[in-house]
Amino acid sequence: MKKLLTTVLIAASAQWAWADGLSSLEGFMKAARSGSAQFTQTVTAPPKDGQSARSKTSSGTFDFQRPGHFRFIYQKPFEQTIVADGKTLWLYDADLNQVTQRAQDKALGSTPAALLASAPDLAALRADFTLESAPDQDGLQWVLASPKARDGQLKSVRVGFNGETLAALDILDSFGQRSLIRFTGMKINPALAADTFTFKPPAGADVLQQ
């Protein structure tokens, strides 16, 4: 009887954890039509040739407006801007003074950006991702999102919430590289400037189309 009760309690706990994570994601998708935050991103490459894994950290600001608009501005250690304006995905490397331009519908697909900005609601998100329960960790509720498309570079994304506030993305690609993005100061539905998601290549920049 004691063993059976323990099993039931463990199963119930798992169901509640999943309900918390899923309800947080659903609440975020319903309430957050736009957002703004600061972020810190740590990218860790898998060990190679007997060497230990190496990490690099960058930081900047993030804005989004659903559906289909977002902007990452990397400020440290190198300046880089990524803008999706609804039709085109722009990537600007300030050091190289180079702009890469891609059709947004072909560039995004089942990417972390779809979780944040592209999908208009949870039903649309489920069309591209399989959502599974993930244990609570670091005081956050997590949802594991795995892309249904098997031909992309993205293997999985864990999405972490503090209540209904987006707090983290833990991204694993098909090469074993992990990117952990933590958001701070998240503002939901802020008043964003009209040109927030407008990008014009700087004068003299090389523009590459892919």
Residue-wise pLDDT for 66-120, tens only, equals 888 999 999 988 899 999 998 999 999 999 999 999 988 777 655 676 667 777 7
Q: How far is CA 111 from CA 79, 119, 151, 175, in A?
A: 22, 11, 12, 15
Residue-wise pLDDT for 106-158, tens only, equals 776 556 766 677 777 788 888 888 988 789 999 999 999 988 887 777 888 99
Q: How far is CA 202 from CA 92, 105, 188, in A?
A: 9, 24, 30
Q: Say if residue 19's pLDDT is above 60.
A: no
- Core vs surface per residue 32-51: b (16+ CB within 10 A) or e: bebbbbebebebeeeeeeee
User: What integer pLDDT is reported at residue 2 of this predicted model?
Assistant: 34
User: What integer pLDDT is reported at residue 97 of this predicted model?
Assistant: 94
pLDDT band at 5 (very low <50, low <70, confident <90, very high): very low
Percentage of the chain lying above the pLDDT 70 cut = 87
Q: Say if residue 44's pLDDT is above 80.
A: yes
Half-sphere exposure of 41 (CA within 13 A, CB side): 20
Q: CA geometry: angle at 137 spanning 136 and 142, to 5°?
A: 50
This model's pTM is above 0.75: yes
Average pLDDT of the chain, as a whole number? 83
Q: Say if residue 13's pLDDT is above 60.
A: no
Backbone torsions φ then ψ of 25, nearest 5 degrees: -65, -45
Domains of the chain, start order: 2-209 (2.50.20.10)
User: What integer pLDDT is reported at residue 109 of this predicted model?
Assistant: 54
Q: Would you say 53 and 45 are in contact if contact means Cβ atoms under 8 Å apart?
A: yes
Greatest extent of the chain over all pairs of C-alpha atoms, in Å: 75
**Number of H helices and number of E strands within the chain?**
4, 12
User: What integer pLDDT is reported at residue 20 of this predicted model?
Assistant: 67
User: What integer pLDDT is reported at residue 111 of this predicted model?
Assistant: 62
